Amino acid sequence: MEFDVKKIFFPSVGVNLVFNINTDFPISKASIIYDADYKKQTITLAQPSIPVTQNTPFEQLHLTTLVYIKQRRLRIGIRCKPTQFTSNYPMADGTPVKAFVVQYRLPAIETNIRSAFRLLMTNRYAVKGKIVYNKQEYRTPGDFKIKDISFSGLGLVILEKKGQRPSPLSALKVGTKMIMGLALVDRDQPGAKKTVPVQIQVARININYSEIHTLIGLKITNITREDEEVLNLFIHTAQIEELKRISKKR
């Protein structure tokens, strides 16, 4: 399938810069397109909250965004590289902002990124959860809190003791498999809560996270394609809204 860059990557579109997309540990930075020159194959982007600089190390860089084609939600990407940086890009109202230009290379292709995005909980966007472990149910916020979430997993913060007794979740071991239900919450849209069931496995444990808390990293091992698209869109939308909020503060 061929993709028309002009219809996908145009001004005001929310995008993600994905560094080293084909590795086990890609890194993503949310941005917004300010301008595009399709003859020169350049796109001007807002600087992410953690800026891209001339010294930012990477082997590959892709500009990606979500599109809806033939009743399918796809992530389309183009290879690119930064060529110019400015601290005084003029917005429509004359306000100078930080921006940079990337030179892109065709063709645009469908991409599949599972581990590049990690969303921290914010005042607007949050994830509630329920875990089924040893035939018992554990829920947020009483039994654990969700620190962050990505397409491939999430981080849980667990109180090591509940009262005088150890929390049952504090006894989890690496490799433990469980069932979890995730409720994706946008507090600006109270009626739009989405529920996503997943199968999870404990990937890592940090007992030194704090004096009274343990941080547990979970890997999503099974999720339907439909639910994966719901999670994908939730994380992407939250990243773009957070970038807009930070840009307004600047």
Residue 98 belongs to domain spanning: 5-116
Determine how many CB atoms are found less than 10 A away from the CB of residue 28: 23
> 104 near 42, Cβ under 8 Å?
yes
DSSP annotation of 160 reads: S
pLDDT in tens, 69-116: 777 778 899 999 999 999 999 988 888 999 999 999 999 998 866 555
Any domain includes 87: yes
Determine how many CB atoms are found less than 10 A away from the CB of residue 117: 23
CATH number at 163 reads 2.40.10.220
Q: Return all residues near 26 (Cβ < 8 A) that are at least 6 apart.
A: 18, 19, 20, 113, 115, 116
Please tell me whether residues 130 and 82 are part of one structural domain. no
Average pLDDT, the chain: 87
State the Cα–Cα distance between residues 151 and 115, nearest whole angstrom. 6
Which residues lie across from 31 on neighbouring strands? 15
Determine how many CB atoms are found less than 10 A away from the CB of residue 24: 6
Please tell me whether residues 188 and 134 are part of one structural domain. yes
Tokens of 135: 């035939």
Domain end among 116, 141, 165:
116
Asked whether the predicted pLDDT for residue 33 surpasses 70, the reply is yes
Kindly compute the dihedral angle of the four CA atoms of residues 78, 84, 87, 91, in this order, to the nearest 10 degrees. Answer: -60
Any domain includes 72: yes
Any domain includes 247: no
Percent of residues, the chain, with pLDDT higher than 90: 47
| Highest-confidence segment of 9-18, 26-35, 204-213, 236-245 | 9-18
Q: Is 108 left (phi over 0), alpha (psi -120 to 50) or beta?
A: beta
pLDDT in tens, 209-250: 888 899 999 988 888 878 887 887 888 788 777 767 666 655
CATH number at 58 reads 2.30.110.10
pTM beyond 0.85: the answer is no
Any domain includes 245: no
Asked whether the predicted pLDDT for residue 200 surpasses 80, the reply is yes
| Highest-confidence segment of 21-35, 37-51, 63-77, 111-125 | 37-51
Q: Work out the average pLDDT over 125-132.
A: 94
